[in-house]
Chain A
Amino acid sequence: MYKILDKKSLNNDVDLMVIDAPLVAKNALPGHFVILRVDEEGERIPLTIAALEENHVTIIYQKMGQATQQLGFLDVGDTIEDFVGPLGQAAHLKDKKHVVGVAGGVGAAPLLPQLKSYHQQGTHTTLILGGRTKDHVILKDHYDFVDRLIVATDDGSEGIHGRVTDALAPLLRDDQSIDHVIAIGPVLMMEAVRDLAVDHHKSIDVSLNPIMIDGTGMCGNCRVTLGDQVKFACIDGPDFPGEAVDFKELHARQNYYKKEEHACLVGVKTHD
C-alpha cells in the first residue's frame, strides 16, 4: 500500500499527487515512469515520475478514463494498492547548446524533469507549452527555470493563438542556436513536431506512450516501430529519437481499445 501525501488540482482534468514510495524513489532518475493500480480490481496504468524528493514520488495525471478518474477520487491519506518503478530508461541527456521543449497538455508533466536536467547541465532552454485553452496550460510556475517560455492555445485565450507547431516553426527558422527539440504530448502533436524538426535538420526526441500492462518487458503490448526495428517502449524507452518513429502505427495501436475503454465495456468484443 502506498500512501497519498499530497494532492493538488492543476485544472479540471489534471491533478498532481505526491506518493510515499521509497522503493520507487531510491533509484529513480528523470525519464523513468511508474505503473500503478488503484485497487485490487484496478487496471495497471503508466505515469511518468514528475518530481522526486527523498522517499516521495510526484505524479501528474490527466483524468482520461476509468483508471485515472478512479485515482482522482482519492485524497490525501488514502492509499494506492500498487505502485512499481522506476521503470524504463532514464532520459539520455545529450550534449546540446539550446534545447526547445515542446509539451502538449499533460505532456508538460513528463517534460519537466527532462528539461530541468538540461537546464542544470547548462543547456539554454526554451519551452513551448500548448493547450486547448489557457486552463489546459499546466505547470507554468514549475518551469520558472527556463530561459524562454512561449504559450500557445487553440482558442487564443493565452499566448499565441494556434498550435505548438505554429510557435515552433518561426523559432526553428529564425534561431540558429537551437540544436535539439524534445516533444512530449499527444501522438499527432509529436508527429507534427517531429516533421517540423526534421525539415529544419534538428535532432528530435519524443516520449512514446503506447498501452502498457506489466511495464517489465513481459507482454509486448507496448511495442513500437522505429524504422526497421521493433522496440518495447517499457524497457527500451519510453524516450526515443523521433526521426524514425512510426507514429501512424502508434496511433492505431493506442486506439485499439478506445471503444472498449470509453464505453467501459469489458470482456469479449467481436468486431462489427
Chain B
Amino acid sequence: MRTEDAQTRNQNFLEVALGYSYDEAIAEAKRCIDCKTPKCVMHCPVNVNIPLFIKQLLEGALEQSFETIYKDNILPSICGRVCPQESQCEGACILGIKHQPVAIGALERFVGDYGREHGLVKPTPKPKTSFKAAIVGSGPAGLACAAALVAQGVEVTIYEALHKFGGVLQYGIPDFRLPKDIVESEVLALKAQGVTFVKNAVIGKSITIDQLFEMGYQSIFIGSGAGLPTGMRIPGENLNGVYFANEFLTRVNLMRARAIPTSITPVKLGPTVAVVGGGNVAMDAARTAKRLGAKRVLIIYRRDETSLPARLDEIHHAKDEGIAFHLLRNPVELIGENHEIKRVKVEIMTLGEPDDSGRRRPVGTNTYETFEIDTLIMAIGQKPNPILKDNTANLNTASWGGILTDERHQTSIPHVYAGGDVVSGAATVILAMGTGKEAAQFMLEDMRQQNQAA
C-alpha cells in the first residue's frame, strides 16, 4: 500500500497508509487463488469469509462484498487498518509460503471504506422485540454487541464513562493510524439503526448494575476494557515528565492537545523522548511524540526485535519516521532533578530460556547504560478498570482484575455478560468485537427465556 512520505508525515497527523485505489484493489484481489480450504479464514478470529468477499470485489459486486465481511465483522474499515494481519489472516495465507500473502487487511479496508462512504449499513427494520439490553463501555466489544442485538430488534443502550464513544479507538489509537471520523461514522451508523448512546455515565458509580436491572434492562453486557495503566515499579516513576502512554495519548487524541489554538488541554514534551515498551501502544506513543515536534525519540524494549508485539507495519513505519530502537534494554531507574526527569538508567539484557508466553525470557547482564532524556512514556501494560468490580457485589474477578465468564460469556451475576479486554486482558480490536458479537447471541437466548418464563 502507498504511504505518505516518512519525513513529511512524521510532522502531521494525517493517515499514513493511504489505502488502495479501485484499480490497485482489483490488482491485489486477483492474486487470491480462492483456496478450497482457505487457511486465511481459519486464522481470522471471527472467520471472515475472505475468498468470497475478494471474489465479489473482483466481480465489481462491492455491496455484496461488504455484506459478506459485515456478517462477521461490523467494523471492517477499522479492522482492515488495525488487525495484526501478519499473525492472523495474512500470516496463514497460502501465497505467503513462497511470495507475499494477499493483502487481506488492505482489501478489507477498501471494501469497508466503500461501504461506509456509501452508507451500506442501513437501518435494518427488524420486527421490534420487547427486549431491553444495556451495554457498559463503547469500545469495539460494546459496539459489536450493540450491533448484533439491535439487528435482532432489541432496544439497546450503550453507557460510556467518557464524553466520546469508541473506547481505545477514540482515546488510544492515533489519527495517523485510524482517523477519528471513521470511528465517529461507525457510531453514527449504529445510532441510525436505533442504538441509544449515553455519555458521561460511569456504571458502578452514576448507575449501578442493580439499578440498570431496576430500570428494566433484562440483560447487560460489560465491555469496559483494560484501561488501567500499570507502571514499572522502579524509582522515579512519579517525576514530572514521566507519563503513562494512556495519559499522553488521551491528551492528544481525546482532548485534541495539538489542535492549536482551539484546544485548551496542553501536552508538555521535551526534545528527547524515551518510550518504554514494544507493543502497539509504544509505537503509537513514539510516533505521536515525533509528530508533536520531539527531536529524538527512542523506544526502549527489554526483548529483541522479533519479540516486538506491535503490528509489523507500525514497526516499519516507526523506523521510517526516524524512531530509534534500543532493544534488550530494561529500565531500572528514572533519575530526576527538581522533580523532573533527566535520565533513564537501563540494564542491558540477553535472552534466556522461553517463559510461559513461549518467548525467550530476558535476563539481566549486570551491565548498565544511561540515556539523557526530557520525557519518558511508559507503555508496558494495562489492567481492567476496577470501578465496576469495586462497586458490584458478587461480580467475580481473577486476581489480576479480569472479569470471570463462562463459555456463554456470562459472569457470576445472572443475565450479566462480559467480553473484550476486561475479560481477556489487553488484546485486540477484533477479539473484543468477536466476543461482543458472540455474547449478544447468548443474551438474546437469555432474554427469550426470561420472557417465556414470565
Contacts and interface: CB of A to CB of B under 8 A. Distances in A.
Contacts of B171: 218
B412 to A, nearest CB: 22
Contact of B240 (A83, A218, A253): A253
Contacts of B19: none
Interface in A22-52: 23-24, 26-27, 37, 41-44
Interface stretch (A94-102, A129-137, A173-181, A254-262): A254-262
Contact of A220 (B207, B229, B266, B294): B229
B270 A271 contact: yes
B268 interface: yes
Contact of A267 (B161, B162, B163, B292): B292
B386 A235 contact: yes
Given A82-B163, A84-B161, A252-B339, A214 B250 contact: yes
B257 A266 contact: yes
Contact of A269 (B240, B244, B266, B338): B266
B436 to A, nearest CB: 20
Contacts of B228: 217-218
Contacts of B387: 216-217, 235
Interface stretch (B142-150, B195-203, B276-284, B444-452): B195-203
Nearest to A260: B266
B352 interface: no
A84 B266 contact: no
Contacts of B270: 270-271
Interface in B221-238: 227-229, 231, 237-238
A249 B235 CA distance: 13
B205 A86 contact: yes
B427 interface: no
Nearest to B244: A220
A192 interface: no
B205 A85 contact: yes
A79 B77 CA distance: 35
A1 to B, nearest CB: 10
Q: Which residue, B206, B251, B255, B261, has most C-beta atoms of chain A within 10 A?
A: B206
B246 to A, nearest CB: 5
Contacts of B254: 214
Q: Which residue, B171, B240, B293, B338, has most C-beta atoms of chain A within 10 A?
A: B240
A221 interface: yes
Contacts of A217: 227-228, 385-387
B238 A230 contact: yes
Contacts of A248: 339
B453 interface: no
B46 interface: no
B268 A214 contact: no
A84 B293 CA distance: 33
Contacts of A253: 238, 240, 339
Interface in B376-395: 385-387, 390
A66 to B, nearest CB: 5
Interface in B162-200: 162-163, 171, 199-200
B293 A270 contact: yes
A43 B264 contact: yes
B242 to A, nearest CB: 10
B100 interface: no
A10 interface: no
Given A214-B162, A249-B238, A41 B264 contact: yes
B173 to A, nearest CB: 14
A67 interface: yes
Contact of B264 (A67, A87, A268, A271): A67
A83 B208 contact: no
Interface string B247-268: 1001100111110111111111
Given A23-B206, A270-B271, A84 B163 contact: yes
B161 A27 contact: no
A62 B237 CA distance: 31
Given A84-B161, A230-B237, A268-B293, A220 B268 contact: no
B14 interface: no
Contacts of A41: 256, 262-264
A83 B269 contact: no
A213 B266 contact: no
Nearest to A83: B200
Contacts of B340: 252, 271
Contacts of B244: 219-221
Given A81-B163, A218-B250, A271-B374, A42 B227 contact: no
B267 A267 contact: yes
Contacts of A67: 264
Given A86-B206, A270-B270, A218 B264 contact: no
29 contacts: A23-B206, A23-B207, A41-B262, A43-B265, A83-B200, A84-B202, A213-B255, A214-B161, A214-B254, A216-B227, A217-B387, A218-B171, A218-B228, A220-B229, A220-B243, A220-B246, A223-B238, A235-B386, A235-B387, A248-B339, A253-B339, A261-B266, A264-B264, A266-B264, A267-B267, A268-B258, A268-B293, A269-B266, A271-B340
Given A27-B208, A218-B250, 20 more contacts: A23-B207, A44-B163, A82-B199, A84-B206, A87-B205, A213-B251, A213-B265, A214-B254, A218-B227, A219-B229, A220-B247, A249-B339, A253-B339, A260-B266, A266-B257, A267-B266, A269-B266, A270-B270, A271-B271, A271-B340
Interface of B: 161-163, 171, 199-202, 205-208, 211, 227-229, 231, 237-238, 240-241, 243-244, 246-247, 250-251, 254-258, 260-271, 292-294, 338-340, 374, 385-387, 390
Query: Which 8 pairs, one residue from A and one from B, show the smallest C-beta to C-beta distance?
Result: A252-B339, A84-B200, A220-B244, A219-B247, A218-B227, A260-B266, A256-B240, A268-B293
